[in-house]
Structure 1
Amino acid sequence: MYTMTTDKTGAPTDVTAEADRFSISVDGQKAGFTEFIDHDNQRIFPHTEIDDEFGGRGLGTIVVREALEVTREAGLRIVPVCPMVSGFIDKHAEFGDLVDPVTSDVKRILASR
């Protein structure tokens, strides 16, 4: 998967899917990621991180949106453990019907990482 858009400064960004994360780069430089764990029919999002030097440019929103779109296309449910993912969903109701709660099973999966 490869998606290109621009950040708040107009710089080109690239979002790529990896085995356990979606990464975002700006002008070819890795700027951050959102991690995921696939379990049953769910994609658990435990952590999102944007490097400090790229802060305030909307990169977290770009990478989270792309990750959630791909998750939807894959037919998976979303478990937003990460506050950034949860906050994004709160502001974008179009993903609300895909959300599952953080259960004790999810917490066990995260603890075993």
Structure 2
Amino acid sequence: MTQPAAAPVVQRVDSEHRYEILVDGVTAGLTEYRDRDEQRVFYHTETGEAFAGQGLASALVRQALDDVRASGKRVVPVCPYVAKFLKKHEEFADITAPVTPEVLKWLKGVLAH
């Protein structure tokens, strides 16, 4: 009899500026961010090919957004996946800030270093 798979675990990894979702201890996906004052700017989300189609990206982003809400910050969805998720999940509208040219310029500068 095989052991049931453990529930995926989401963790924030501040040193890497990202949230990771782990399945049986293996990183199955991540969403990357940078903090700008009281904003958490999400710019990239991915899941490993072996984990595609399991709803892990959605679970990852939902838990990341719950964490952002708990921290008192606002979400800036530069990442297309996070933006799409927010369009479907209006319960996060109160913590969503617009993507502006200033944010994009700032992010480009931060990521260049």
Shift of 1:83: 1.1
Q: 2:38 aligns with which of 38, 41, 55?
A: 41
Q: What is the correspondence of 1:35-74 to structure 2 with a 5 Å cutoff? A: 35-74=32-71
**Which residue identity does 1:25 align to in structure 2?**
L
**Which residue identity does 2:92 align to in structure 1?**
F
Shift of 1:38: 0.6
What is the aligned partner in structure 1 of residue 13 from structure 2? 18
TM-score scaled by structure 1?
0.88
Distance 1:92 1:46 in 2: 18
Percent sequence identity over matched residues? 45
In the alignment, structure 2 segments of 5+ residues that lack a partner are none
Deviant stretches of 4+, over 6 Å:
none
What count of residue pairs does the alignment treat as equivalent? 105
Q: Which has the larger radius of gyration?
A: 2
**Which residue identity does 2:8 align to in structure 1?**
T
TM-score scaled by structure 2?
0.88
Q: Tell whether 2:86 aligns with 1:81.
A: no
What is the aligned partner in structure 1 of residue 89 from structure 2? 92
**Which residue identity does 1:18 align to in structure 2?**
V
Shift of 1:105: 1.5
- In terms of fraction of residues, the more helix-rich structure is 2
